Amino acid sequence: MVNIYKEGAMAVLSSLRAIEELKSGNTLILREHKWLKFLSLTKEKNVNLEQVESLEGMAQNPVLEYVERTLHILDGLTLPQEEKALVEEVLLWSETAKCGLPHQRREWLDQGFQLGIHNIGSAQIYASEMKKRPETMRNREREKLLYVLILTHGLPGQYIRGEGRYSSMKPLIDVATQEMFPLLYALNQCIVAGVSPEIWDSVQKEMEEVNRWICDGEMSKGQTFQERLRRLRNLASLRGENFDAVYNECLGSNPDAEKLLERFFRKTDMWYVEASLTDFSFEECIKIFLLIERKTRGAVLEQLSFEPMMKELYYDYKGRKIVNVYKKRIIESYLAECTIEEIAHWKHPANEHVQLMAVPLHAQEEMAGIGFFFQGQGRS
């Protein structure tokens, strides 16, 4: 097992010093660090609610706090200075698309930046800011590498979860070399352990394997539809769901539905799936995926974000985040109106109370945000 962690290292990264300066009240530091300006001056709280115990108790700026955690992890790693500097810069810019003040976000959207899928949007923000620098201060080769690292930031983890396709990492595979392995491994350790050290412990071995594939130029490590689905149901399986049994029950007798979903998964990356669907049964999840496939058929869809649904389903009760059972039951009743086979063959009736929404997140409709629209229904 790779071990590049050095216990007890003191904080020396310039980015951590800049954050400390800001915390101490020196807002002038924002003139020197655009990444910190974007991360700190924001009203957004775009985080995965899986890791949040209370919505009201969420940090004032959870994204900046996450970035700071990743930097502290990096600061404790034993890496050559040049590689550490590259990883540091990737971490500084990779969450910027989640932040920014309203006028700044409007400006980015007007420029066509894809803020709904943060790795893509953040890479676009980084490239835009580099173009503003004087030519004498630019290193084009370094910028190209950093752009790809930001663009593919988090994708190995998405692949391990079943949310992302291996082929989506092609830009990284194209530029990676075997010598880059320590850099990529360190980057992914910071990204994952910054969310949860326990999650990092659970994926560390597989992350090492995936990073070696990338550095070796492997291009044929895509997961089957069934394997991706198995990984997307990991939390449900830990709660007792027998994946093989429910898969055979729901899809073994519905080959048409299985083929539709195989084709759909082959062309689509997904975000926030477990955070949104774990509390639904396997059958309900299959029905939701089929409804999305039906809703988006004909669109050039490559990215699917369940973030709208995730935010719709959760609220605080007595200081703790819980699932909105009322809305969940409305969705469950809606899904119970038809079988998997009927949805696959376009026989799902309209419902006046609730409908699945697939809202384009980008002008070219390559991305869609998935949620449910509740007609005349409030929270209870």
Tens of pLDDT, residue by residue over 110-148, are: 999 988 889 999 999 999 999 999 999 899 999 999 999
Compute the distance between CA of residue 253 and CA of residue 240 in angstroms, rounded to an integer.
23
- Residue 274 scores a pLDDT above 50: yes
- Residue 317 scores a pLDDT above 80: no
- Residue 365 scores a pLDDT above 60: no
Determine which of 2-6, 195-199, 315-319 has the lowest per-residue pLDDT on average.
2-6
In single-letter form, the type of residue at position 250 comes to C
Compute the distance between CA of residue 42 and CA of residue 38 in angstroms, rounded to an integer.
7
Q: What value does the mean pLDDT take over residues 141-159?
A: 97
Q: What value does the mean pLDDT take over residues 294-308?
A: 82
* Residue 28 burial (CB count, 10 A): 9
Q: What value does the mean pLDDT take over residues 140-162?
A: 96
Q: Are residues 42 and 184 in the same domain?
A: yes
Q: Are residues 189 and 253 in the same domain?
A: no
Write down the pLDDT at residue 8: 35
Q: Are residues 249 and 318 in the same domain?
A: yes
Q: Are residues 79 and 209 in the same domain?
A: yes
Q: Indicate the pLDDT class of residue 360, thresholds 50, 70 and 90.
A: confident
Q: Indicate the pLDDT class of residue 363, thresholds 50, 70 and 90.
A: low
The verdict on residue 344 lying in a domain is yes
Q: What value does the mean pLDDT take over residues 170-181?
A: 96
Distance of CA 195 to the CA centre of its chain: 12
Using DSSP bridges, classify how beta strands 303-305 and 269-271 pair: parallel, antiparallel or unpaired: parallel
- Residue 250 scores a pLDDT above 80: yes
- Residue 229 scores a pLDDT above 80: yes
The verdict on residue 365 lying in a domain is yes
In single-letter form, the type of residue at position 290 comes to L
Which residues constitute the domain of residue 150?
A: 14-215
- Residue 379 scores a pLDDT above 50: no
Edge-to-edge, what's the strand order for the sheet holding 354-360? 269-271, 303-305, 367-374, 354-360
C-alpha to C-alpha distances, 318 to 55, 243, 279, 309, 327, nearest whole angstrom: 11, 34, 20, 22, 18
The verdict on residue 220 lying in a domain is no
The verdict on residue 152 lying in a domain is yes
Residue 146, burial from CB neighbour count under 10 angstroms (0-12, 13-18, 19+): buried
Q: Are residues 248 and 325 in the same domain?
A: yes
Q: What value does the mean pLDDT take over residues 72-90?
A: 95
| CA dihedral angle for residue 173, residue 178, residue 180, residue 186, rounded to 10 degrees | 100
Write down the pLDDT at residue 232: 95
The verdict on residue 150 lying in a domain is yes
* Residue 243 burial (CB count, 10 A): 17
Write down the pLDDT at residue 378: 45
Q: Are residues 276 and 364 in the same domain?
A: yes
Q: Are residues 110 and 128 in the same domain?
A: yes
Q: Are residues 336 and 230 in the same domain?
A: yes
| Nearest Cα residue to 269 out of 356, 167, 153 | 167
Compute the distance between CA of residue 225 and CA of residue 289 in angstroms, rounded to an integer.
12
Q: Are residues 284 and 336 in the same domain?
A: yes
Q: Are residues 123 and 52 in the same domain?
A: yes
Q: Are residues 77 and 182 in the same domain?
A: yes
Is pLDDT larger for residue 320 or for residue 102? 102
Domain count, the chain: 2
Tell me the per-residue pLDDT of 1-31, one tens digit each, with 9 for 90 and over.
444 433 334 447 999 999 999 999 999 999 9
User: Residue ranges of the alpha helices (H) in the chain?
Assistant: 14-23, 34-40, 62-75, 81-93, 102-110, 118-131, 140-151, 155-161, 170-175, 181-195, 197-215, 225-232, 234-238, 243-247, 255-266, 273-277, 282-296, 307-313, 325-335, 340-344
Question: What does the block give as tokens for 189?
Answer: 């350790």
The verdict on residue 2 lying in a domain is no
Q: What value does the mean pLDDT take over residues 347-354?
A: 75
Is pLDDT larger for residue 9 or for residue 225? 225
Q: What value does the mean pLDDT take over residues 67-78?
A: 96
Q: Are residues 61 and 209 in the same domain?
A: yes
The verdict on residue 105 lying in a domain is yes
Last residue of a domain, one of 160, 184, 215: 215
Q: What value does the mean pLDDT take over residues 342-356?
A: 80
Write down the pLDDT at residue 7: 36
Residues of the chain above pLDDT 70, percent: 89
| CA dihedral angle for residue 239, residue 190, residue 69, residue 5, rounded to 10 degrees | 110
- Residue 273 scores a pLDDT above 50: yes
Q: Indicate the pLDDT class of residue 380, thresholds 50, 70 and 90.
A: very low
Q: What value does the mean pLDDT take over residues 335-358?
A: 84
Q: Indicate the pLDDT class of residue 50, thresholds 50, 70 and 90.
A: low
Last residue of a domain, one of 153, 185, 215: 215
Determine which of 20-24, 266-270, 314-318 has the lowest per-residue pLDDT on average.
314-318
Compute the distance between CA of residue 195 and CA of residue 189 in angstroms, rounded to an integer.
10
Write down the pLDDT at residue 358: 80
Q: What value does the mean pLDDT take over residues 338-343?
A: 91
Instruction: Give the chain's mean pLDDT.
Output: 88
- Residue 302 scores a pLDDT above 50: yes
Write down the pLDDT at residue 312: 84
Q: What value does the mean pLDDT take over residues 66-73?
A: 96
Write down the pLDDT at residue 301: 78
The verdict on residue 8 lying in a domain is no
Write down the pLDDT at residue 52: 59
Last residue of a domain, one of 186, 215, 244: 215
The residue to which tokens 């996450």 are assigned? 66
Write down the pLDDT at residue 367: 75
